[in-house]
Structure formats: structure tokens, C-alpha cells
A and B are shown apart, each in its own frame.
Chain A
Amino acid sequence: MALRKPSRLKRIVTVEIPMLAILVFTLGPYLWMFITSVSPEETLFTTGPSLLNATFENYARLFNTVGFSDNLIDSFIVAVGTVIVGLSLSVTAAYAFSRFNFKGKRILMLQFLLINMFPLVLLILPLFVLMRMLGLLDTHVALIIANSTIAIPFSIWMMVSYINGIPRSLDEAAMTDGCTRLQALRRVVLPLCMPGIIATGIYIFITSWNEYLYALTLGGRDVRTITVAVQTLIGEYEVQWGLLTSGGIVGALPATVLFLIVQKRLISGLTQGAVKG
């Protein structure tokens, strides 16, 4: 920022130490959960969690006796289903928003922005009634539909910003060469914004993986996603914190890893709109 370089010591005191403190605050709870999960259950309440004699018995119990693998599969099906629905419906819509001027464009775009503003509790009650009427309660389809209420507007929003980044002249060139609009979209625009599409897809995956209230209300018995399973653990194994925290780590791991992979691209997409407008 400044023209002259501040001295090394000054930078350590004013920047690196405060940053480190914030990082400790940010990561501390997560690390504490991990340490607890690998501590032997007997020592947890005597000497407290520690990394000495680390063990993975809690994780083994989680999969062998509690049956966490079924929950992981349920979560996976729901999340992948939501990604497919969300992306496939929003690609063409985002292209239309980005490339055409038409009547009602502003209102339609506003509509997709507004959806995100409505409280989830406003949707969860009627969706429950609706799914019950259709006999879809406790199925993967119900959860995919519910998660799509968030995924579709979000991915349209992201995708518009990615497609806007690709020059119009490229579609026009393709169309002069004899492509139709849809071919131009498929052969030129889509490959170019593939990184953005992948990032959006991963973000949808993460939000559906993390979703809890719909999963609890619309599923819960046959289809029990990982978040509901973790919450049920809290009820059933109340003081077995070793087991509980290992459940937390397993539940959080896929989302954390994916997020660290795509965070850079995702954040540039997310913040672009905010910085410009």
C-alpha cells in the first residue's frame, strides 16, 4: 500500500500477529473438534482431548455400528441430483439474460434475485404439505426439489456473470460460420465458461450437502442425509463426544475439501457483481 516498505518487525507486530490471532479463532473450533475425535473415549473426561495416543476407533464405530455410510450415500445422491437440476435449468436461462434484450428482462432477473431473499421458513411448510400430497415425503426427489429452490436462482446469478465475461463477438463469429444460436452456445460459450460452471456446480453440491432443515422436514427416516444423521447422533449419544465429533468431521470433510479447491474462482464470481454494482 505505502510507497516505502515498512520494517520487518513492524509488519510482524501490526499484520502477522493479528492475522494469526484471527486464524486461531477461525480454525480453533474445527481443530478442537478434530483432536477430540481422535482422542480415546476413556481419556476424554479425565485428561481431556489430546493428540497423544491418537486413535481412529471413533471413526470405525461411526461406520460399523452407527451406519454412517448409508447417510453419506443419501447425501451424495441428493447433492448430485441438485447439481444436475440446478445447472441444466440455468445454463440456457443465464445465456438468455446475458445475450438478449427482451421485454420483461429486468423483472425476470429481479425475480431470480428476490427468490433468495425470501425466508426459508416461508417455503418449508408448503413444500411439506405439497410433498405429502404427492407422496414424495422421505424420497431423494423431494430433497432435490427443495434444494433446487436455492440452487436454481444462485446458479443463474453466477452463470450470468461468467457468460458476461465471454465476448459476444465469439458467438457472432460462430454464427457467421453457420452455427445456430444453440450450437454457438454449446460449442463456443459453454466450453469457455466450463471452469465457472464447474465452480458453480461444486458450490451447489456443497450447499445441498450442508443443507439441514429441508432434509429434516422432508426426509429423515428412509432418506437420512449426513446432516440429519449428525443431529440424530447428538440426541442418541449425548455425552460420547468422541463419536459425535468424528461424525462432525466426516460430515464436514467433503464440503471443506471441495471448497478449498474451488474457492478462488468461486469468490471471484461471487464478488464480481458486488464490486461492480
Chain B
Amino acid sequence: MTTATTDPSTSARRSVIGRRVLPYAMLSPAVLVTLAIVFFPMVQTAWMSLHEYVLFRPKDFNWVGLGNFKAALADEVFWISLRHTAIWMLTTIPAQLFLGLVTALLLNQDFWWRPIARALIIIPWALPSVVIALMWSWIYDSNYGVANEFLLRLGVIQQAVPWLANPDTALASIILTLTWQGFPFFAVMILAGLQSIPASYYEAASIDGASAWRQFWHITLPGIAGVMMTAVLLRMIWVANSFDVIFVMTGGGPGYATHTLPLYAFIKARTNLDFGYGSSIAVLFTIMLMVVVVFYLRRTRKAMD
């Protein structure tokens, strides 16, 4: 930008132009690539959703307008999947949040093996979802799984339960797995929030004679509310989208017992090769998720003010 010119005025003008152009020049590689590999494909999904497009008939790409969307709304499996998605989000996220909060509060205490505990607690987060699905399938195994053996010994159940093969328990079993996978994220985020609360607040409160519970309610919770809301938002999006664990553990079955919307869209495209219909479900799901996110942001912002 500032090549060694003798005339100071040209050099100054150049640097002004440089300052204008430079940011865009530095940004353009990343922006162009994301346009090409993220935004262009997204537009393509929307475009495909308006067509009848089955992959083994590549010549047929017929405009059907909103036909796929109408078909989806009349599709029983769509509503089943939607219900499961709702159940799934409304149970997994609160469970993760609660367990994460408890873990973070414990990790914020002083005990000699705290650094080890803090490092180990995050392990589930680093594992590949396929491996998570594999190990929980082994735990839930109906013949030799440790879950059955454990509960039989305790006398909670009278006979072995095929956790993943039984439509009544499959969704709950997967929800437990997902809770296990996701709560360390909350623990880590909330712990960071806890550590940003100045110790002097607690000192002042205990001089004033506030009980531990009142300290938690009036200092700790307001102090971590912001972090918790961000974490819930990120997690909501993540939980709604993640279907790889379900896909490997049950493939959406038995029957449609563990179908969620993104999984249904994926299966439609992957096994039926029906890309038009799959895309329309993906688009519908995205719109619904956006509505939920916007609603959530509005509510929490109001609560924060």
C-alpha cells in the first residue's frame, strides 16, 4: 500500500484508498468462498423444493410450485416427526441446562482435584457422534447391555428391556444419550459466566447476612443469565439440527418412533432419492427453527431488560 514514493501527497492519497479497499480485499476470499459453498447451495435447496426432482430420473425436473409443501403438510410422517422434534428439544435442552448448571456450580467450588474434573467433564463433547451412538447402543443392548443388567440387579425392571427396539422407550433412550453428549457444553459456558462474577458481591452479601440461597438467587443467577441465554440459543440450534446420533442408533425406527424433521428430510433424500420432497421438508424445518429462534430472542431480550 505505501510504496516508497517521494511525493508525500500521493502516498497519503494511496493510503486513503488503501484503507477503503483493504478491508474488502482481505475479506473477499472468505466471503466469496462462503457464497459459493453455503449461500448458493441454500438457494439451490429452495429452488429444488419447488420442483419434482427424483435423483434416479435426472431428466425430470418439473416445476410443481408449492406442491411439495402441500404434500408435506398432508403427510402423516411429517407431523409425527414434527412432534418428536418438539418433544426432543423441550426435554433435551432443559435436561442439559439443569445438569450443566449443577456441574458448573460444583466446578466453581474449591477442591483439590478440580482441574482434573474440569478437563475430564468435557470429553463427551469431543467424541465423534458415531462413536457416541455406538457406545450407547452397546449400553442399551437388549441381551448383553449394561443398562439392563444394572437395572435388573437394582430390581427396577423385572426383565430385560430392548431399549432401542421398543417404540415406547426408543425416543427416551436417545434423549438420554443426547443429554449426556450436550451437558458439558452448558457446564463450560456457565462456569465461565460464574467466574466473571466479582467475588466482592458475595463478600458484601454475606456481610449483610444473606443466606446461600439468597446469594444464589440474587447474585449468581442474574450474573449468569446472559451466558445461559446464549448457551440455550446455540444449543437449541444444535440439538434441532443434530440427527447423526439418531441416524446411527435407530435410523429413525422402530417404525417412525425416533423420526425428527431433519432426519426425515435426510432419509427421504438418501433412501428414496426424492430430493425435491426432502428439500421442501428441510426448508420448512429451517423456517420453523428461525421462527422459534426469533421468538426466543424477543422473549429473552425483554426478560433481560
Contact = CB atoms under 8 A, between A and B. Distances in A.
Interface in B232-264: 237, 240-241, 243-244, 247-248, 262
Contacts of B128: 209-212, 226-227, 230, 251-252, 255
Contacts of A213: 243-244, 247, 266
A65 B30 CA distance: 43
B123 A130 contact: no
Interface in B3-26: 18-20, 22-24, 26
Contact of B1 (A25, A30, A118, A181): A181
Contacts of B269: 124-125, 128
Interface in A200-237: 206, 209-213, 217, 226-228, 230-231, 234
Interface string A176-220: 000011100000000000000000000000100111110001000
Contact of B30 (A45, A93, A228, A255): A93
Given A29-B180, A126-B48, A274-B227, A152 B22 contact: no
A271 B189 contact: yes
A92 B121 contact: no
B44 A126 contact: yes
A234 B248 contact: yes
Contacts of A125: 45, 48, 265, 269, 275, 278-279, 282
A9 interface: no
Nearest to B32: A89
A73 B38 CA distance: 27
Interface string A15-46: 11011001101110110110010000000110
A210 B23 contact: no
Contact of B126 (A48, A89, A206, A230): A206
Given A27-B123, A210-B127, A251-B128, A245 B134 contact: yes
Contact of A23 (B18, B31, B120, B207): B120
B279 A145 contact: no
B27 interface: yes
B64 interface: no
B60 interface: no
B272 interface: no
A130 B43 CA distance: 12
What is the size category of the interface that chain B forms with chain A? 35 or more
B121 A23 contact: yes
B41 A96 contact: no
B263 to A, nearest CB: 8
A233 B1 CA distance: 56
A252 to B, nearest CB: 5
A148 interface: yes
Classify the interface of chain B: helix, strand, loop or mixed: helix
Most-contacted residue by chain A among B19, B131, B146, B289 (CB, 10 A): B131
B204 to A, nearest CB: 10
A207 B193 CA distance: 25
Interface string B84-118: 00000000000000010011001111110100010
A118 B46 CA distance: 13
Given A93-B27, A119-B241, A121-B265, A230 B130 contact: yes
Contact of B127 (A16, A97, A256): A256
A3 B201 CA distance: 11
Contacts of B119: 260, 263
A82 to B, nearest CB: 12
B206 interface: yes
Given A121-B265, A248-B131, A248-B135, A231 B248 contact: yes
B283 interface: yes
Interface in A143-176: 145-146, 148-149, 152-153, 156
Contact of A130 (B41, B111, B120, B231): B41
A258 B30 CA distance: 26
A227 B245 CA distance: 12
B68 to A, nearest CB: 13
B31 A93 contact: yes
B228 to A, nearest CB: 10
A33 B139 CA distance: 9
Interface in B192-238: 192-193, 196, 199, 202-203, 206-207, 212, 215, 226-227, 230-231, 237
B53 to A, nearest CB: 9
Contact of B27 (A1, A26, A96, A121): A96
Contacts of A210: 126-130
Contacts of A68: none
Given A26-B184, A33-B138, A145-B37, 9 more contacts: A48-B149, A96-B22, A115-B34, A149-B38, A217-B270, A227-B128, A252-B131, A255-B128, A260-B126
**8 tightest CB-CB pairs across the interface, nearest first?**
A271-B192, A259-B126, A126-B41, A210-B128, A93-B30, A92-B26, A126-B44, A96-B26
13 contacts: A1-B109, A22-B121, A100-B22, A118-B38, A121-B241, A125-B282, A126-B41, A127-B37, A213-B243, A230-B131, A234-B134, A259-B122, A275-B192
